Amino acid sequence: MTSLERQPLSYRDAGVDIDAGDALVERIKPFARKTAREGVLGGLGGFGALFEIPKRFREPVLVSGTDGVGTKLKLAFELDRHEGVGIDLVAMSVNDVLVQGAEPLFFLDYFACGKLDVDRAATVVEGVATGCARAGCALLGGETAEMPGMYPDGEYDLAGFAVGAVEKSRIITGADIVPGDALIGLRSSGAHSNGYSLIRKILTRARVDLNSPFDFDTSNASDEKSGGKRSLADAVMTPTRIYVKPVLALLEKVRIKGMAHITGGGLVENLPRTLPDKVKAVVEKSAWERPALFRWLQEEGGVAEAEMWRVFNCGVGMVLIVSHEDASDARRILAAQGETAIEIGEVAVRDRDESRAIVI
């Protein structure tokens, strides 16, 4: 066959549907508009997203964070549940930005797949917009990449990027944390987006029907639903809790000396990230009841106690460090904001060779 006899090829023939990409952009524009806030300049569709730092900041310092959802996505594919992973994506970055006292300003997402399913992608991005609304930040832009051959059919990957701002004089560094300060734990909504490689291994070993009823703690499981029995799938797919608004409200009334977002590594590896070298965090596990999901995972997986604390949040998704005198007020203010705040331990003097966070 000569070159003249060959059929002409298009980008669609190569597996990339430009029209589908354009359709997705139009679908997600209303979601993004709902997250508009002060500082947003323009809308979706430009080469770069524009944002003006609000003039109420006198000496703004920008704080950035980026993350993904991890292998929790594998369960989203298996269960065909995509509504909450966009919330997870936002939460993992804005909660990180928050720990230095920053107000999240805007967020960008990256959605990559082998073949674009507009409905599924729109569902994911709608979840991103929901997460942005909960954090009070704008969904300022993003990127959709359709890359044939890069991903298995029906699968995609997500990444997110958040930028916040904090007054230079109010950056939270943890430098002034001293022995006797209180650890205030904020209840998690579940496993959040960490430890899912182990969770998936446990689910495979248990050979359990994920849609079977599961009596797990729902008093603070999400921002919309509480009470009653739900399925194990509901338990493992509950979106990550976003702590931004209640913590920012607390910052206006109580001095927070340090914060730790409890992600991969659990309490024992994340608390040291906010502590001065000569102190340690002493966490009293009897201060709260470990949620049923974590008890089930430990029993079914035969997971050692030390491993549980190194992998999972075990029911505490964020820790605030305040002076002992401020602890009661902090808990009261957080409760008024809808948070379950528990005094889970205190800061103590650390000997040279001691761990910087221990669970007793």
- Burial bucket for residue 331 (CB in 10 Å: 0-12, 13-18, 19+): buried
Indicate if 90 and 143 belong to the same structural domain.
yes
* CB proximity list for 125: less than 8 A, separation 6 or greater: 24, 27, 28, 31, 86, 109, 111, 142
Indicate if 229 and 331 belong to the same structural domain.
yes
Q: What whole-number distance in Å separates Cα of residue 61 and Cα of residue 33?
A: 26
Range of the domain at 86: 18-170
Sign of CA dihedral 133, 134, 140, 143: negative
Alpha helices (H) along 162-212: 196-206
- Burial bucket for residue 177 (CB in 10 Å: 0-12, 13-18, 19+): buried
Query: What was the pLDDT predicted at 4?
Result: 53
Q: Report if residue 95 sits inside a domain.
A: yes
Query: What was the pLDDT predicted at 224?
Result: 42
Q: What is the model's pTM?
A: 0.93
Query: What was the pLDDT predicted at 283?
Result: 98
297 forms beta bridges with: none
Indicate if 222 and 131 belong to the same structural domain.
no
Chunk the chain into consecutive blocks of 10 residues (it has 360) and report each block's average pLDDT, rounded to whole numbers. 67 79 85 91 80 95 97 96 96 98 97 94 96 97 92 95 98 97 97 96 92 68 51 95 98 97 96 96 96 95 96 97 98 95 97 93
Indicate if 127 and 50 belong to the same structural domain.
yes
Q: What whole-number distance in Å separates Cα of residue 329 and Cα of residue 345?
A: 16
Kindly state the DSSP code that residue 173 receives in the 8-state scheme.
Answer: -
The answer to whether the CB of 307 falls within 8 A of the CB of 195 is no
Final residue before a domain boundary, out of 170, 202, 226: 170
User: What one-character-per-residue DSSP string does 284-349 give?
Assistant: -GGGSPPPHHHHHHHHHHT--HHHHHHH--TTEEEEEEE-GGGHHHHHHHHHHTT--EEEEEEEEE
Q: Quick count: other Cβ atoms within 10 Å of Cβ 137?
A: 28
H-helix or E-strand containing 29? helix 18-33
Query: What was the pLDDT predicted at 9?
Result: 80
Strand 156-167 versus strand 103-113 pairing type:
antiparallel
Q: Which of 205, 225, 195, 167 is nearest to 293 (CA)?
A: 195
Q: What is the CATH number of the domain that holds 245?
A: 3.90.650.10
Query: What was the pLDDT predicted at 5?
Result: 61
183 forms beta bridges with: 321, 345
Q: Report if residue 175 sits inside a domain.
A: no
Final residue before a domain boundary, out of 137, 170, 203: 170
Q: Report if residue 260 sits inside a domain.
A: yes
Q: Quick count: other Cβ atoms within 10 Å of Cβ 16?
A: 16
Q: What is the CATH number of the domain that holds 146?
A: 3.30.1330.10
Indicate if 251 and 282 belong to the same structural domain.
yes
Q: What whole-number distance in Å separates Cα of residue 133 and Cα of residue 92?
A: 14
Q: What whole-number distance in Å separates Cα of residue 336 and Cα of residue 330?
A: 10
Final residue before a domain boundary, out of 135, 170, 205: 170
Strand ranges for the chain from DSSP E? 40-41, 50-51, 60-67, 103-113, 138-146, 156-167, 182-187, 213-214, 230-231, 258-261, 279-283, 316-322, 341-349, 357-359
Indicate if 186 and 135 belong to the same structural domain.
no
Indicate if 211 and 313 belong to the same structural domain.
yes
User: How many folded domains does the chain comprise?
Assistant: 2
Q: Report if residue 355 sits inside a domain.
A: yes
Q: Residue 243 is which amino acid?
A: Y
